[in-house]
Structure 1
Amino acid sequence: MTRSDRSAEEVKARVEEYWDGRADSFDDDSQHGIHGDEQREAWLSVLREWTGDPPQRTLDVGCGTGVISLLLAQVGHDVTGVDVSTEMLEQAREKARAVDHSLEFRTGDAESLDEPDDSYELLTGRHLIWTLPNPETAVREWRRVVEPGGRILLVEGHWDFPEPFEGYEEIHDDLPLYDGRPPEELAAFLTDAGLENVEHDPLMDAVFWGQEPNYEQYVMVGDVPR
């Protein structure tokens, strides 16, 4: 992978444009939205197992249309969602209003969060880290806003498709973790970035995605050192 001469801000602008364009239809895909009680309960079970006893002060980074944010709120956590895409955030706010959940959604950069130090007990992100031009910077920032002893939870995957995703043709070389990573590699990356007790578990049951997944999917957690 060879990075171009584009600045990180130029890459982020392309990413924002792409996800703004996906906002209206994002949840229609069973791999993204929640379609049915069985799928919902499967995700709630995972979140209950890995996030700790509620309520946790939680920041859902790259929250998109609020799929995970709303599930976290249903578990009982106090959730703030942040995303670069204003169109995605509008979808998230509409869904929160529809189910009468009190969540806060605001625009933000996963690599430079407008949050005080140690302000959260839990930080989550689903299929986010591959979209970032500076993932090492992002993890440092996540450690900063999560209090010592808090947890970072990521839902990630690894794919190796022959062609880049539509919309990412020009910028995929600017994303160091594009294509995702096998769980062992991401675990090593997070450990090198300073997280402790990093562990992962597969999410390969079709119930999570509405179909058999066509690439490796998993949940990964790590603790911020005390």
Structure 2
Amino acid sequence: MNELKSNYSIRDEIRDYWSERAGTFDQSVGHEIFSDAERRGWQRLIRKHLGEGQGRRALDLACGTAVISHLLHELGFSVTGLDWSDTMLALARAKAETRKADIRFITGDAENTLEQPGTYDVITNRHLVWTLVDPPAAFREWFSLLKPGGKVLIVDGNMGKVTWVKGLQAFWARMTGKEDSGPISTDMAERLRDIRTRVYFSGQMPASAVAGLLEEAGFENIVIDRKLTDIHWAQARKMPFMRGLDRMFQERFAICAEKPNR
């Protein structure tokens, strides 16, 4: 038993946590898309940095239930969605079948995909980088998977930075003894906090730090895009007031980087 326990890594914990979240994943604002306004915002962001698909090959890492995968598919990309949770992938496959979307899904680790080098035109991921145990190695892996001139688009945020709204919520929780854990249970919220303490970006994750690691991995033409207000406003309107307000003040960003075309 002790040997089995010692072989249970932080990566296993992350996979199992999101597998348990899978059943309610699409019920949360910020995961699934709940308005045409938000969908247009995502499409604008993807077109801005990656252009139209035109049959180009896209790898959506940590695809979950395939929200971003479907956006890419709608824009004409040939999409592969990769996730380490078979529970998530089962839901992703069911969604794609319902929508008649020809998306390939595979089980894999975003830090070690086992996909062939030089096979993808674009790589995308959303809310993945903060979970990475070894981002420098992951970014080198993503660099190898891209064709020359290929691009990676990361959508994430500095979740370790506490907004004044979150600070106010924490103060209220201390005063009342009632914590708002959002759309998940208090136990799941505690598990998530524990996981956050043991990943690479255990504290803050400013966009500049992510961009620096991308540059070290060989990427160039790195663009940090903070103009995501259309997406966040559409999300905030579907949230309870205080969580929506916090969403508008969070430090969220997109980062696009290119593999040299040589």
Q: Is the 8 A contact 2:135 2:213 kept in 1?
A: no
The residue aligned with 1:39 is 38
Letter in 1 for 2:149: G
Letter in 2 for 1:49: K
SS at match of 1:167: helix
Shift of 1:9: 6.3
The residue aligned with 2:175 is none
SS at match of 2:221: strand
Assess, with a 3 A threshold, how the Cα gap between structure 1 residues 61 and 7 changes in structure 2: closer, same or farther. farther
The residue aligned with 2:229 is 204
Q: Give the 5 Å matches for 1:27-176.
A: 27-54=26-53, 55-160=55-160, 161=162, 165-176=189-200
Aligned residues: 221
Shift of 1:189: 2.0
Letter in 2 for 1:45: R
Assess, with a 3 A threshold, how the Cα gap between structure 1 residues 90 and 178 changes in structure 2: closer, same or farther. farther
Shift of 1:39: 1.2
Q: Is the 8 A contact 1:42 1:207 kept in 2?
A: no
Task: Write the distance in 2 (CA, Å) between the matches of 1:47 and 1:38.
Answer: 14
Task: Indicate whether 1:218 and 2:240 are aligned.
Answer: no
Shift of 1:209: 2.7
Assess, with a 3 A threshold, how the Cα gap between structure 1 residues 219 and 7 changes in structure 2: closer, same or farther. farther
Shift of 1:40: 1.0
Assess, with a 3 A threshold, how the Cα gap between structure 1 residues 169 and 89 changes in structure 2: closer, same or farther. same
The residue aligned with 1:3 is none
Task: Indicate the larger mover: 47-56 or 179-188.
Answer: 179-188
Assess, with a 3 A threshold, how the Cα gap between structure 1 residues 204 and 120 changes in structure 2: closer, same or farther. same
Task: Write the distance in 2 (CA, Å) between the matches of 1:174 and 1:81.
Answer: 26
Letter in 1 for 2:235: W
SS at match of 1:189: helix
Task: Write the distance in 1 (CA, Å) between the matches of 2:136 and 2:194.
Answer: 22
Task: Write the distance in 1 (CA, Å) between the matches of 2:138 and 2:60.
Answer: 13
The residue aligned with 1:14 is 13
Letter in 2 for 1:189: L
Task: Indicate the larger mover: 110-119 or 203-212.
Answer: 203-212
Letter in 2 for 1:107: T
Letter in 2 for 1:182: P
Q: Is the 8 A contact 2:153 2:255 kept in 1?
A: yes
Shift of 1:49: 1.4
Task: Write the distance in 2 (CA, Å) between the matches of 1:208 and 1:188.
Answer: 30
Q: Is the 8 A contact 1:20 1:85 kept in 2?
A: yes
Shift of 1:194: 1.4
Task: Indicate the larger mover: 193-202 or 67-76.
Answer: 193-202
SS at match of 2:200: coil
Q: Is the 8 A contact 1:157 1:180 kept in 2?
A: no
Task: Indicate the larger mover: 7-16 or 93-102.
Answer: 7-16
Task: Compute the TM-score of the two structures, normalised by the length of structure 1.
Answer: 0.90
Going by fraction, where is helix more abundant, 1 or 2?
A: 2
Task: Write the distance in 1 (CA, Å) between the matches of 2:16 and 2:68.
Answer: 22
Task: Write the distance in 2 (CA, Å) between the matches of 1:41 and 1:218.
Answer: 17
Shift of 1:165: 4.6
Q: Is the 8 A contact 1:31 1:208 kept in 2?
A: no
Task: Write the distance in 2 (CA, Å) between the matches of 1:209 and 1:178.
Answer: 26
Larger Rg computed on CA atoms: 2
Assess, with a 3 A threshold, how the Cα gap between structure 1 residues 169 and 59 changes in structure 2: closer, same or farther. same
Unaligned runs of 5+ in 1: 1-5
